[in-house]
A and B are shown apart, each in its own frame.
Chain A
Amino acid sequence: MITNDMTIKIGGEAGMGVESGGAGLTRALARGGLHVFGFSDFMSRIRGGHNFFQLRAGVSEVFTFAEEVHLLIAFTKDCIERHRHEVAAAGAILYDEALGVDPESMPGRGVLACPVPFSKIAVETGGDPIMANTCAIAAAAGITGYDFERIREVLEENFKKKSEKVAAGNIAVAQAGYRYAKEKYSAGFKYRLQAIGGRKTEDRMILNGNQALAMGAMAAGCKFIAAYPMTPATSIFEFITAHASEYGIVSKQTEDEIAALLFAIGAGHAGLRAMTCTSGGGFCLMVEALGLASMSETPVVVAEVQRVGPSTGFPTRTEQSDLEFAIHASHGESPRIVIAPATVEECFEAGWRAFNLAEKYQCPVIILSDLHLSSHLQSIDKNRLDFSKVKIDRGELLTRGDLEKLRDYKRHLVTDSGVSPRAIPGHPRSVYVTTSDEHNEYGYAVEDAETRNKMMEKRMRKLETAAREDMRPPLLYGDPDADYTFLCWGSVYGSVRESVDLLGKRGVKANVLRFADLWPFPIEKARPFLERARHLVVVENNYTGQLAHLISRCACVEMDTKILKYSGRPFSPEEVIANLREEARIHV
């Protein structure tokens, strides 16, 4: 028996409830005290096609997915065709009996073929074929011997919102599916899931990066969000909007992304903590406004959740190809800060920290996330997202008292740090104009060379100040004295971290340096780590190796090996190791 260490994959057409079923199962497992990591792979369509949801459960924290599947739940023949080779020896395939799949056609290798009448049970017990996915996840609990009560709880909560009748129907279907799979297949299946006693169900949260980021922004006192829907950023906008009235936030859907950032700039100028969120395509439209925020020294936060590009690319797949774009977006040279969280917890922190940085440096701050990070579900202990640790730093924002004393106010005063005291418009002593044109300290447009130089230097100086005072060094995980040092940023970290552990078990000493504060690049803080490394291996979800470029140009350090992937799919730890073996010619 192997208990509490397994991967379950659920697949079918869009509209069959693959994702909702998967999320329900994930929650039911987390409630039993297990740690889970779930991600979905879905196509950019509303019906049909092939989607899957993959979840991994374990006793300790899970940072990524694994390739080997122990239980495949198939709603379609196509799903079996596509994924049966991924099923481990002694794994099982649960599928709808109605598919008429010949059990003999299964992969062999001891893989169990387990037909269950998903749709028949759904219709006969629940009265609705749509409940087949409920039947399937309950069957998964049945075959693994998991506590049915946890499934029941989650179904009840999810469906009660619709009606008592729908909830009762789903629970009845679940009971039938659970019993069927348990009685028929459980004894022959060696993988087990078991609730861990002594934990309170409400101690552990299940959430994705976008939800964490949105909560972080709210925890920072974000009072304004304007956006235009674009996958995979939309759920940030939706989350904040859902809570807007309750928490005193204005949410505005705009005509396009150009307007979205400009609305946020307007609100930021008027004194609110303001943000927008988008993906690469929308960020393209924001570029001119980004320069405006830099020039007018307006604090604003842009959450850019990357997806596959260029152009429309793969709307529902992951990539990390906007790093260099984010750093340079806009014509001219202008200050901005770019930070890239790598875990769900860090999304929360980035969500609030971005507002402090934006107000402290009075410039745009870009939170660079990616689709995989934005949408994978992860279990996190509740106390790890601690709102009381959120610090609010509004930088040189003038208080009412300061404003009363103000004389001859210069909004763009030249200072050593590059940051000028900021007044919110509306006070008689701080009447000023600001502009996208080059301007003097008062904000009036000017054209003389001397002022231009001074103002340009003032603005750019903020980057030096930020690099010194706020940008953090890369984070090291693993043995500092390693033979191989991986470098990465963003969601790739989860798999790389795990490959470091796996390599360790196989006798290869590796560690990983993760860069979260990317611009201004903290050169001096990163250098000692880079110099110490013996063999540098960058791992990125892009074609050109953008972190590698950044390190090369900022720190003059070249990578020994580059592992790059741009298929739109996330790296698995096994894949990282296989690539290392091939690219660096080592035997592991």
Chain B
Amino acid sequence: MSNLDDFLSPESPTWCPGCGDYTILKCLKEALVTQGLAPHEVMVVSGIGCGSKVPYYLRSNGYDSLHGRALPVAQGIKLANHALKVIVVSGDGDSMGIGGNHFLHAMRRNPDITHIIENNQIYGLTKGQFSPTSPKGFVTSTSPDGSLEAALNPMVLGVAGGATFVSRTFSGDVRHMVETLVRAMKHRGYSVIDVLQPCVTFNKINSFKWYKERVYDVTKSADYRPQDRKWAFAKALEWGEKIPIGVIYEDTSTPTYEDQVQVLQEGPLAERDERERPIHWRVLAGEEKLKRAFC
């Protein structure tokens, strides 16, 4: 068992007052406590951006990597020690701009990793340029006449790309976020959470109010069918006057990547017997065989 204090970091957040990232930090801690996870069992990996500062403010194993590169670092960690609960927190730019390729390929692999996309539809840390999720026509310092590019939608990408768990939540709804995070972390496989996270400083359009007027909990709809990929796709495409939040897709039949790696079936590699035996004992035992192949 753990409690919120276990996750208390000596560092205090440097986010702007009112930033949607505060809610993410708070809900993440609550979700971990809800599951009874302790700090040493959790590994939070982030990229670079405002939202990527989460690992400093949450006491757990943490790795704040490079802009866009949280996913590959996290997957390497997971393969080395799949006993760790690995969580990626990274911005919309991080996840879908500079790190877009990693996102595509993580979906195909289905690692047992939870990926929280802090989607403020802007580049926050670099002070307000349009991001891959900014709508077409969005005016920023680098798009003074309005951006000419269409927005990417993380849920659409998630369902199309083969993520086995696709969801959305909102920084203005703590209860919903905790529930969604818990469900995502309990899912065995790659779970994507698109978090609508207002940037109160640089995104004057997609504010708490703007989202509040539009979001609705899709899990409460009469036709809720998260096992149905076509339904999920239709829901993912909904964006505008009404924006669905909640889990839209959940595939529990696809094995995780780690489940399929034969070497990992005896337990996490990093925790194996190697500490008691020399780490190269297997190869020492196989020396003759390895060499004979060259004779």
Chain A bound to chain B = yes
**Do B80 and A435 touch across chains, with their CB atoms under 8 A apart?**
no
- Collect the chain A residues with CB atoms within 8 Å of residue B176's CB: none
**Do A270 and B270 touch across chains, with their CB atoms under 8 A apart?**
yes
Q: Within 8 Å of chain A (Cβ to Cβ): is B200?
A: no
**Do B80 and A436 touch across chains, with their CB atoms under 8 A apart?**
no
B95 CB, nearest partner CB in chain A, Å: 14
**Do B77 and A248 touch across chains, with their CB atoms under 8 A apart?**
no
**Do A202 and B76 touch across chains, with their CB atoms under 8 A apart?**
no
A431 CA to B275 CA in the complex, in Å?
19
Q: Within 8 Å of chain A (Cβ to Cβ): is B79?
A: yes
**Do B101 and A256 touch across chains, with their CB atoms under 8 A apart?**
yes
A207 CA to B293 CA in the complex, in Å?
10
- Collect the chain B residues with CB atoms within 8 Å of residue A247's CB: 282-283, 286
A273 CA to B280 CA in the complex, in Å?
10
Which of A130-138, A183-191, A216-224, A472-480 lines the interface with chain B?
A: A216-224
A296 CA to B77 CA in the complex, in Å?
14
Q: Which of B55, B69, B270 contacts A258 (CB 8 A)?
A: B69
- Collect the chain B residues with CB atoms within 8 Å of residue A270's CB: 43, 76-77, 80-81, 84, 270
Q: Which residue of B lies closest to A31 (CB)?
A: B295
Q: Within 8 Å of chain A (Cβ to Cβ): is B141?
A: no
Known: A247-B282, A259-B105, A385-B291. A432 touches B76 (CB 8 A): no
**Do B69 and A296 touch across chains, with their CB atoms under 8 A apart?**
no
- Collect the chain B residues with CB atoms within 8 Å of residue A203's CB: 295
Most buried by A among B79, B278, B284, B287: B79
Known: A262-B65, A262-B73, A289-B69. A250 touches B269 (CB 8 A): yes
Q: Within 8 Å of chain B (Cβ to Cβ): is A392?
A: yes
**Do B40 and A427 touch across chains, with their CB atoms under 8 A apart?**
yes
Q: How many residues of A are in contact with the other chain, CB < 8 A?
A: 73
A252 CA to B73 CA in the complex, in Å?
13
B277 CB, nearest partner CB in chain A, Å: 10
A272 CA to B82 CA in the complex, in Å?
12
**Do A433 and B62 touch across chains, with their CB atoms under 8 A apart?**
yes
Interface residues of A in 398-417 (CB under 8 A from B): 399-400
Which of B15-23, B210-218, B241-249, B259-267 lines the interface with chain A?
A: B259-267
A252 CA to B74 CA in the complex, in Å?
14
Q: Within 8 Å of chain A (Cβ to Cβ): is B228?
A: no
Instruction: Mark interface residues in A465-485 (1 if CB within 8 Å of B CB, else 0).
Output: 000000000000000000000
- Collect the chain A residues with CB atoms within 8 Å of residue B286's CB: 246-247
A273 CA to B274 CA in the complex, in Å?
11
A97 CA to B80 CA in the complex, in Å?
58
Q: Within 8 Å of chain A (Cβ to Cβ): is B48?
A: yes
Q: Which residue of B lies closest to A252 (CB)?
A: B79
**Do A263 and B75 touch across chains, with their CB atoms under 8 A apart?**
yes
Q: Within 8 Å of chain B (Cβ to Cβ): is A444?
A: yes
Known: A248-B269, A271-B270, A426-B83. A288 touches B263 (CB 8 A): no
Q: Which of A385, A428, A433 contacts B64 (CB 8 A)?
A: A433
**Do B102 and A426 touch across chains, with their CB atoms under 8 A apart?**
no
- Collect the chain A residues with CB atoms within 8 Å of residue B292's CB: 202
Q: Which residue of A lies closest to B75 (CB)?
A: A263
Instruction: Mark interface residues in B28-57 (1 if CB within 8 Å of A CB, else 0).
Output: 000000000011110101001000010110
**Do A274 and B64 touch across chains, with their CB atoms under 8 A apart?**
no
- Collect the chain B residues with CB atoms within 8 Å of residue A554's CB: none
Q: Within 8 Å of chain A (Cβ to Cβ): is B60?
A: yes
Q: Within 8 Å of chain A (Cβ to Cβ): is B174?
A: no
- Collect the chain B residues with CB atoms within 8 Å of residue A394's CB: 279
Q: Within 8 Å of chain B (Cβ to Cβ): is A265?
A: yes
Q: Which of B62, B269, B280, B295 contacts A434 (CB 8 A)?
A: B62
**Do B63 and A296 touch across chains, with their CB atoms under 8 A apart?**
yes
A247 CA to B278 CA in the complex, in Å?
13
Q: Within 8 Å of chain A (Cβ to Cβ): is B152?
A: no
Q: Within 8 Å of chain B (Cβ to Cβ): is A201?
A: yes
- Collect the chain A residues with CB atoms within 8 Å of residue B295's CB: 31, 201-206, 382
- Collect the chain B residues with CB atoms within 8 Å of residue A204's CB: 295
Interface residues of B in 113-154 (CB under 8 A from A): none
Q: Within 8 Å of chain A (Cβ to Cβ): is B290?
A: yes
**Do B76 and A264 touch across chains, with their CB atoms under 8 A apart?**
yes
B97 CB, nearest partner CB in chain A, Å: 14
**Do B270 and A272 touch across chains, with their CB atoms under 8 A apart?**
yes
- Collect the chain B residues with CB atoms within 8 Å of residue A385's CB: 291
Instruction: Mark interface residues in B101-116 (1 if CB within 8 Å of A CB, else 0).
Output: 1101100000000000
Q: Within 8 Å of chain B (Cβ to Cβ): is A254?
A: yes
**Do A445 and B105 touch across chains, with their CB atoms under 8 A apart?**
no
**Do B76 and A221 touch across chains, with their CB atoms under 8 A apart?**
no
**Do A266 and B77 touch across chains, with their CB atoms under 8 A apart?**
yes
- Collect the chain A residues with CB atoms within 8 Å of residue B223's CB: none
- Collect the chain A residues with CB atoms within 8 Å of residue B269's CB: 223-224, 248, 250, 272
**Do A433 and B63 touch across chains, with their CB atoms under 8 A apart?**
yes
- Collect the chain B residues with CB atoms within 8 Å of residue A292's CB: 65-66, 69
**Do A267 and B11 touch across chains, with their CB atoms under 8 A apart?**
no
**Do B64 and A437 touch across chains, with their CB atoms under 8 A apart?**
yes
A431 CA to B295 CA in the complex, in Å?
49
Known: A206-B294, A265-B73, A270-B80. A399 touches B264 (CB 8 A): no
Known: A296-B63, A436-B66, A445-B56. A250 touches B263 (CB 8 A): yes
Interface residues of A in 211-233 (CB under 8 A from B): 211, 215, 218-221, 223-224, 226
**Do A431 and B40 touch across chains, with their CB atoms under 8 A apart?**
yes
Known: A221-B283, A271-B81. A426 touches B40 (CB 8 A): yes
Chain B contact residues, CB within 8 Å of chain A: 10-11, 38-41, 43, 45, 48, 53, 55-56, 59-66, 69, 71-81, 83-84, 101-102, 104-105, 261-264, 269-272, 274-275, 278-280, 282-284, 286-287, 290-292, 294-295
Question: Can you list 29 A-B contacts with CB-CB less than 8 angstroms, sorted by A residue number?
Answer: A203-B295, A207-B294, A218-B280, A219-B284, A219-B287, A223-B269, A224-B76, A224-B80, A245-B263, A255-B102, A259-B102, A262-B65, A263-B72, A263-B73, A266-B78, A267-B76, A268-B76, A271-B80, A272-B270, A274-B80, A387-B280, A387-B283, A426-B41, A426-B84, A426-B270, A432-B61, A433-B64, A435-B64, A444-B10
Which 4 A-B pairs have CB atoms at the shortest separation, nearest pair first?
A266-B76, A221-B279, A433-B62, A270-B80
Contacts A259-B72, A387-B284 known; list 10 others, CB within 8 Å: A202-B292, A219-B283, A245-B263, A247-B286, A266-B45, A382-B291, A382-B295, A394-B279, A431-B60, A436-B64
